[in-house]
Amino acid sequence: MNPLILDGRKVAQTVKDELKGQIDELQSKGITPKLATVLVGDDEASKTYVQMKANTCHKLCMASERVFLPEETTTEELLDVIQRLNEDPEVHGILLQHPVPSHIDERQAFDAISLDKDVDGVTSHGFGATTFQLGAYPCCTPAAILQVIDYYGLDVEGKHAVVIGRSPILGKPVSMMLLNRNATVTICHSKTENLPEVVKQADIVVAAVGRPKFVKGDWLKEGAIVLDAGYNPGNIGDADYDTCYAKSSAITPVPGGIGPVTISMLLKHTVEAAQKQCKVS
Ligand code: NAP
């Protein structure tokens, strides 16, 4: 039987449709949810991501502020910008575009974002609070993965989820979120031995590796669910779609899977941040 195609564009549209009413309500009270994005340097891909985020904000009648800083910006200068945005009552969410130039202390910069404006879930405090289910905004790609799971009513409790990747913005937080949903979680990384055999035990595979077509269909147990967070040049995922399609019971395509949901989660978090900061629920 063909697998269920998990259509991220449909999931994203549903999230955005729900947001419209909430944004209208905020605007009726004179509040426009605003996302500030900070980009350091001239990385073309990062510029495109920042532009996409601003465009999506505008489509939903949200406000956005883009702060472009030169490549030679110091950590201290970046911290000053973040502090200004933390103190600006019109800014409800802050996103520091990753990666920043290597001379900048990225962790210090992320952790300077105040928790109530950390709509991208990048602070250490936010990660801890997400892990302990204390109401912080989770990172957007992990949140998107969970949103797809919920939209399609996929069973997580008691299932074995194998997450390939342990980055602070993706592999680690999605592992904690799946654990909080009572999955049995195995986290794999570049030092994992016998990866195909580990993946073979999975009911759910999350591919978050950053290597095109890395996860092969013959690694999968028959009927596994494949959630591919990967996005490599040429619109190629971290799972080898054709061979995984043949073995899985449900699969996210690339493009059109987790990616579009990620931006909608960023906007969802920003609207929630505006509601909380302005005490409108
Ligand atoms: P990352 O920071 O480079 O992390 C990659 C992870 O994969 C690391 O934990 C690494 O292990 C692991 N890994 C690398 N080679 C491996 C191997 N041969 N076997 C097993 N594990 C291996 O990447 P990321 O930022 O998490 O991104 C992962 C993917 O998601 C990329 O394709 C990226 O483009 C995509 N992404 C998509 C979105 C979206 O909106 N859809 C957002 C963010 C990222 P070590 O820890 O041992 O090095």
Note whether 167 and 236 are same-domain residues: yes
Question: Which residues span the domain enclosing 237?
Answer: 140-259
Contact between 16 and 60 (Cβ < 8 Å): yes
Domain membership flag for residue 239: yes
Q: Which residues are annotated as catalytic?
A: 53, 97, 120
Beta bridge partners of 38: 67, 96
Looking up residue 180, the CATH number of its domain turns out to be 3.40.50.720
Residue nearest to atom 34 of ligand 1 (CA): 231
pTM over 0.85: yes
Q: Is the CB of 265 under 6 A from ligand 1?
A: no
Domain membership flag for residue 130: no
Residue nearest to atom 36 of ligand 1 (CA): 230
Instruction: Tell me the C-alpha distance between 271 and 275, whole Å.
Output: 6
Note whether 90 and 169 are same-domain residues: no
**What angle separates helix 171-180 from helix 124-131, to the nearest 10 degrees?**
20
Note whether 65 and 108 are same-domain residues: yes
Report the number of distinct structural domains present in the chain.
2
Looking up residue 60, the CATH number of its domain turns out to be 3.40.50.10860
Q: Is the CB of 208 under 6 A from ligand 1?
A: yes
| Ordered alpha helix ranges (H), 152-240 | 171-180, 195-200
Note whether 193 and 230 are same-domain residues: yes
Contact between 161 and 202 (Cβ < 8 Å): yes
Give the neighbor-by-neighbor strand order of the sheet with 250-251: 4-5, 250-251, 225-228, 204-207, 160-164, 184-188
Domain membership flag for residue 241: yes
Each of the 281 residues of the chain gets a pLDDT tens digit; together they read 899 999 999 999 999 999 999 999 999 999 999 999 999 999 988 998 899 999 999 999 999 999 999 999 999 999 999 999 999 999 999 999 999 999 999 999 999 999 999 999 999 999 999 999 999 999 999 999 999 999 999 999 999 999 999 999 999 999 999 999 999 999 999 999 999 999 999 999 999 999 999 999 999 999 999 999 999 999 999 999 999 999 999 999 999 999 999 999 999 999 999 999 998 87
Residue nearest to atom 13 of ligand 1 (CA): 190
Domain membership flag for residue 85: yes
- Tell whether residue 181 is among the known ligand binding residues: no
- The DSSP bridge pattern shows strands 250-251 and 4-5 to be parallel
Domain membership flag for residue 132: no
